[in-house]
Amino acid sequence: MKTLLVGGKLFDKSQGFSGEKKDILIENGFIKEIKDSIDLDEVKAIDCKIFDLNGLYIFPGFIDIHTHFRYPGQIEKEDIESGSFAALHGGYTTCVAMPNTNPPIQNEDHIKDINLLSKYLDIIPASCITENREGKKLVDIEKNVKSGFSIFTDDGNEVKDPELLFEALLLSKKYDFIIMEHCIDNDFFKSGVINFGPISKQLKVKGIPDAAETTIAYRDIQLAKLAQSKIHLTHLSTKESIELALVAKEKNIDVSFDVTPHHLLLNENNCITKDPIFKVSPPLRSFENQENLKRLFLEGKIEIIATDHAPHLEKEKHLDITLAPFGITGLETTFLLLFNEFVLTKLTSLENLLSCLTSNPANRFKFEKKGKLEKDYIADLTVFDPNEEQKITPSFFYSKAKYSPYMNKKIKGKIVKVFKNGQLVLNSNKGENQFFRKPLL
């Protein structure tokens, strides 16, 4: 099976593409050729689908290393299909599913089940580090690695016992997988609601201080150093924790980290209304922390952006802020919001933003043949129209969670097509999106 994409403008910093007009030939799910022009007569002589993409941008399919699909056990909030549609709508072709589910993802049956249900994109389940995320005993790591798990996390909880985490880090080196740590001490100012600061004091709610994150970040970096292993610190939000990670990298400690779009775009001042839609973990931090994250992103020191897409029932997010669950949606809005905030304003290049969503996470997490517009790579491609305009409303969302802090915001640009393994899995036509219910190759 062959597919030809004609005339799209390619963007991929890793391959030196900055909007050059190229043709892409896809064969059996892989990129076969990328050339200025591919002979149409030659490809028409065989069974080949041709897409005219003149005026449109072509990116590697986006990769999210931190997604909550709520499966199994909470499918009223999200399920594999609705989450997949949300991911494709946002341009994502690969997502890592967090294991804080019911039951937690932690054995061979779970990975088989999720793989069977993943018909539109690659959903990579992460295993718990400890049984049921309770922090008392490691899962059978050797067995899980043999079953196909390559990422382990107790996300939603940090591993409280440093000796247990150290043991897991030693095993990660032995079996070549990566530990992703939830970098916040949930016992640090228990029942915290938003960031500890002037807004929490004004609202008279308990705050969560920066130190709840930085203490865990410091501990985990030191444990990775002792184990001589790699570690990934997820959703960092404070100046101090990121500085710890950057200094550790300079000292050749194998640490990486991600930040979320909402910590780049929002801060604790958004919580003044007490609207739980802004209640996230880690909390939206101070304006100073937000500005530091933005500066580091624009300087290229933040290499991975993860959505932490965490859908809940709308009625839950309408509870009092002290009772509502932590979480925000992100799969469908991340690229569009960051494109409008940082690229259209010329604060950074489109290529720099894309690297945080494509090649950088692919390289760190060893997703082979992904994240680049390169010959012989998997044909996971996102097609973007920079000129179309949209408004974020409930009807915008394919996630079951049809709420957002950005509601009624007008944005420029739209994901118009997504190819997974060379197959068209999302197609936008006259303002509507069509998803193709076909199993992947």
Question: Do 221 and 344 sit in the same domain of this protein?
Answer: yes
Question: Do 261 and 305 sit in the same domain of this protein?
Answer: yes
pLDDT at 4: 95
Question: Do 257 and 310 sit in the same domain of this protein?
Answer: yes
Among the listed residues 23, 122, 154, 308, the single catalytic one is 308
Question: Do 309 and 407 sit in the same domain of this protein?
Answer: no
Domain limits for position 270: 61-364
Burial bucket for residue 136 (CB in 10 Å: 0-12, 13-18, 19+)? exposed
The residue from 342, 364, 386 where one domain ends is 364
CATH code for the domain of 424: 2.30.40.10
pLDDT in tens, 133-177: 999 999 999 999 999 999 999 999 999 999 999 999 999 999 999
Q: Which of 148, 64, 120, 88 is nearest to 360 (CA)?
A: 64
Does residue 440 sit within a domain?
Answer: no
Note whether 241 and 214 are within 8 A (CB): yes
Question: Do 286 and 403 sit in the same domain of this protein?
Answer: no
Residue type, 31: I
Question: Do 48 and 95 sit in the same domain of this protein?
Answer: no
| Residue 308 known to be catalytic | yes
pLDDT at 440: 46
User: For the chain, which residues score pLDDT lower than 50?
Assistant: 439-441
Cβ partners under 8 Å of residue 135, min gap 6: 154, 157, 159, 160, 161, 164
pLDDT at 40: 74
pLDDT in tens, 391-407: 999 999 999 999 999 99
Beta strands in 68-121 (DSSP E): 92-97
Phi-psi region of 80 (alpha: psi -120 to 50; beta: other; left: phi over 0): alpha
d(CA 62, CA 80): 17
Does residue 441 sit within a domain?
Answer: no
